[in-house]
Amino acid sequence: MENTITLGGGCFWCIEAVFTDLKGITSAVSGYAGGDTENPTYDQVCTGRSGHAEVVEVTYDPEIITLHDILTIFFTLHDPTTLNRQGADAGTQYRSTIMYRDDAQKAEAETVIAEITESGIWPDPIVTEVVPLLHFYPAEAYHQHYFANNTNKAYCQIVIAPKVAKLRSLYSAKLR
């Protein structure tokens, strides 16, 4: 039985690239959630006025990878202490967010946040929002598998590749 969680940690290209490399992830779909505009476009989300965050809908097999592991990896590979920002990407569309589907996912997110906070990995407070998922809208086709299809582009080399390298270094046992 598969489960799905929706995560936002800056640009969705980064989050999607990281999670597609993991055993047990059956799909990672870039999209938009958390706003008021129905079926938003990338251009609408980029303005910051639609209310949506760039997110990735991560579907996984809990027999192979747990939600706890997914969330721990998520908190390791983006900065959850910067409000509405990841590196040079700034705006509410780049906020750190966990959008849960049920109370169990909410509880797990809160547990992992408490563990990460207690560990001291991040010196500043975690500002990741934990909110219910209301609607998920898949992003346009050219955003899907962006890193895999554009590895030579500057953004991919400068921003995404180091995150993928960090994943491979820290979580090699969980890679496909």
Known catalytic membership, residue 156: no
Q: Which two tokens stand for residue 55?
A: 């997110």
Interatomic CA distance for residues 124 and 119, integer angstroms: 12
DSSP class of residue 175 equals B
| Amino acid identity for residue 25 in this structure | I
Residue 80 half-sphere exposure toward CB, CA atoms < 13 A? 27
Q: Which two tokens stand for residue 72?
A: 């721990």
Q: Which two tokens stand for residue 51?
A: 């209310």
Question: Is residue 59 within 8 Å of 20, Cβ to Cβ?
Answer: no
| Three-class DSSP category at 155 | helix
Report the run of H or E that residue 163 belongs to, with start and end. Answer: helix 161-170
Report the phi/psi class of residue 22: left, alpha or beta, with left for phi > 0 and alpha for psi in -120 to 50: beta
**Catalytic residue, candidates 11, 14, 46, 156:** 11
* Catalytic residue set: 11
